[in-house]
Amino acid sequence: MRGISTRRRISILLLVSLLTICLLLGFDLRERPFGLSYLTSGTLDRWDGVNNTNWKDTQVGEQEYQGDIQYDQQNELECTTWDPRNPEEDDPKECVRARQWRQVQTVIEREEKAEHEHWYFTKEHNLATFRNVSRCFLPQWHEDYKPCPDKPLIISGWWYTAVVVVGGTSGETIWQASLYKQLRALDMEVALVGPYKNWVQVAEMMPDVYRFLWNSETDTVSCITDPRCVAKEHYVPPEDGKDISIGVPDDEKGNIPIWKLQVVDYWGCKPPEVSNNDYWWNRTVEGDWSFQPLGQEWIATPWPLPGHFHLPYSIEDYCLPLKFKPHEERENTVLIFAKRSSYFDRHYIPQRSFWTALAAEPDFEIISTAEVEEGHPMPDGLETLGPQSREAYEALVGNAKVLLGMGAPYVSPSVYTALCQGTPVVLPTFLPKPRMDGWHLYSGLMQHGPAMVLGPPYVYTYHSGNYTSLLEVLQLALKTPIGRYIPDDMHWSYAINVMEGYINRDLESMYRSVISSHGGIPRMSKGARERCFQLGRCEELPPGKFKLNINPS
């Protein structure tokens, strides 16, 4: 063992004395940069487009994470003698920071070798993320130490979070890009770790580092129903399901707490009466359910779905810098938002003759950006400009007088970016008088039900089977100018307040409340796991899987 010099002994004694005085005076040894002062200190200016200082008038509460690890005073005193340059066996036993730092170093070494299955395009992002996180756990005297929130890492295995780093433009990725920006503004780090086996291994390697996991519904179902993934004390067979933990050696069983498995999902967990979840999940019983058995509170969505946690995205940073064009300066055009030509062949979409007739109307021009797919030509008379970059598409939206929905996709961010640019939206319903409450807004019997609630002059509706209805509302929207419109829940100040509350939820206490009320851990819905595997959407960890025998504290 390497000896300690006299100079280092004196330094340690002085540091211990200083810390003792701070403790006696009641000073907080750790900075928690979570409140309004931190958000207004320049953190947001790291992001392109976030330069409007009015957004920083955010009344963020001084919330703190009530997690499963707390840096108490004894832990901090233990860590005063810790030196990461010394061998691991010399680490003070009660120093949580030392344990966390060592776990991160193990993951960094693995990432650098890159011998495991992984998403190649997230490697550099993840290495930078893990290195940055490791600084949080250094001794406070170390020159590279930086103050961080407790457990400053979220491990995301969701594909749509990962493609944020390569500029994905799907609705899911636009949502995730905003959430990622919010998390970074709150000084949280996000590792983009996939596919399934990869994030399971990373979570097992750093159980004391991550705050929670963010994953798809299928990965979450795979883990919760697999004794090699979920913590052994949290595994229960699905309803009427086989106990597959029998025969699995203890050293192969998982260590991921069920309450840390959070779902991020664009569509949510819908009851079968307003969805196709009878097909996807073998859900035959009507009413609410959850593919996270602890409850829908563990499922975050971009829309205020009943029972789910609504994590809104802000469009201000992208939209407000776009130049607003007054109504009278715009082209007399109607832009159809449809990604693919096959959309025009879906049985519930207005028939092709509608679009041919619309293209022949003399009072306005119809334009489209649909990608032409083999076997699915555009309707006669309707031309397409083809797929556009996000920047080019937004320019088209801002120059059009109306954005016209044709029924697919049934929920899209395009509606809100149009309204933000002062472009009214026209959307179809597939019933003459559909219900507009609760789950019915998300039933697919209308396009973008939540936006329809806004009503004219922002959002107009027409019945998909009535051409006269379509033409009438189009002509009304074309001659009725609007200014910029951003829904209250899509402002940056609102969204980041919600995100702060979300990341500071005491998930473990929520879990205890659930098992207390249920008399145990709720089971996965009957047949859900089997159907997921039958469709090839879920995955099982193989026997003898990678283990480090690291147990969370």
CB count, 10 Å around CB of 433?
7
Say whether both 239 and 351 belong to one domain.
no
- Report the pLDDT averaged over residues 109-132: 95
Identify the band that residue 63 occupies on the pLDDT scale cut at 50, 70 and 90: low
Question: Nearest CA to 127 among 89, 91, 165?
Answer: 165
Say whether both 467 and 327 belong to one domain.
yes
- Report the pLDDT averaged over residues 213-236: 97
Q: Picking from 128-137, 229-238, 380-389, 428-437, which range would have the lowest pLDDT averaged per residue? A: 428-437
In three-state secondary structure terms, 335 is strand
In a domain, 100, yes or no: no
Which residue would you say has higher pLDDT here, 112 or 553? 112
* Whole-number pLDDT of residue 70: 52
Say whether both 281 and 344 belong to one domain.
no
In the predicted model, what is the mean pLDDT of the chain?
86
With contact defined as beta carbons under 8 Å apart, do 49 and 114 qualify?
Answer: no
> Cα–Cα distance between 273 and 385 in angstroms, integer?
38
Give 411-445 pLDDT, tens digit per residue. 888 899 999 999 999 999 998 888 888 898 898 88
User: Would you say residue 542 has pLDDT above 80?
Assistant: yes
Say whether both 193 and 333 belong to one domain.
no
Say whether both 308 and 400 belong to one domain.
no
With contact defined as beta carbons under 8 Å apart, do 341 and 374 qualify?
Answer: no
In a domain, 8, yes or no: no
Say whether both 339 and 309 belong to one domain.
no
* Strands 299-301 and 459-463, sheet pairing: unpaired
- Report the pLDDT averaged over residues 127-131: 97
> Cα–Cα distance between 207 and 365 in angstroms, integer?
58
Say whether both 308 and 325 belong to one domain.
no
Which residue would you say has higher pLDDT here, 230 or 53? 230
With contact defined as beta carbons under 8 Å apart, do 63 and 188 qualify?
Answer: no
Q: Which two three-digit tokens encode residue 160?
A: 């749509």
DSSP symbols for 214-255: EE-HHHHHHHHT-TTTBBGGG--PPTT---TTTT--GGGSB-
User: Would you say residue 176 has pLDDT above 70?
Assistant: yes
In a domain, 153, yes or no: yes
Helix and strand tally (H, E) in the chain? Answer: 19, 11
Q: Is 63 exposed, middle or buried (0-12, 13-18, 19+ CB in 10 A)?
A: middle
* Whole-number pLDDT of residue 241: 87
User: Would you say residue 295 has pLDDT above 80?
Assistant: yes
Q: Which two three-digit tokens encode residue 71?
A: 């840096």
Say whether both 392 and 297 belong to one domain.
no
In a domain, 54, yes or no: no
Give 231-275 pLDDT, tens digit per residue. 999 999 999 889 999 999 999 999 999 999 999 999 999 999 888
In a domain, 197, yes or no: yes
Say whether both 286 and 391 belong to one domain.
no
With contact defined as beta carbons under 8 Å apart, do 495 and 312 qualify?
Answer: yes
In a domain, 478, yes or no: yes
Say whether both 407 and 429 belong to one domain.
yes
In a domain, 87, yes or no: no
- Report the pLDDT averaged over residues 106-130: 95
- Domain total in the chain: 2
User: Would you say residue 144 has pLDDT above 80?
Assistant: yes
User: Would you say residue 396 has pLDDT above 60?
Assistant: yes
Say whether both 200 and 154 belong to one domain.
yes
Say whether both 310 and 423 belong to one domain.
no
Residue span of the structural domain in which 215 resides: 149-314+506-534
Give 458-508 pLDDT, tens digit per residue. 999 999 999 999 999 999 999 999 999 999 999 999 999 999 999 999 999
In a domain, 139, yes or no: no
In three-state secondary structure terms, 453 is coil
What's 391's domain CATH number? Answer: 3.40.50.2000
With contact defined as beta carbons under 8 Å apart, do 134 and 101 qualify?
Answer: yes
Write down which residue in 460, 490, 520 finishes a domain. 490
Residue type, 550: I
- Report the pLDDT averaged over residues 153-159: 97
Which residue would you say has higher pLDDT here, 285 or 40? 285
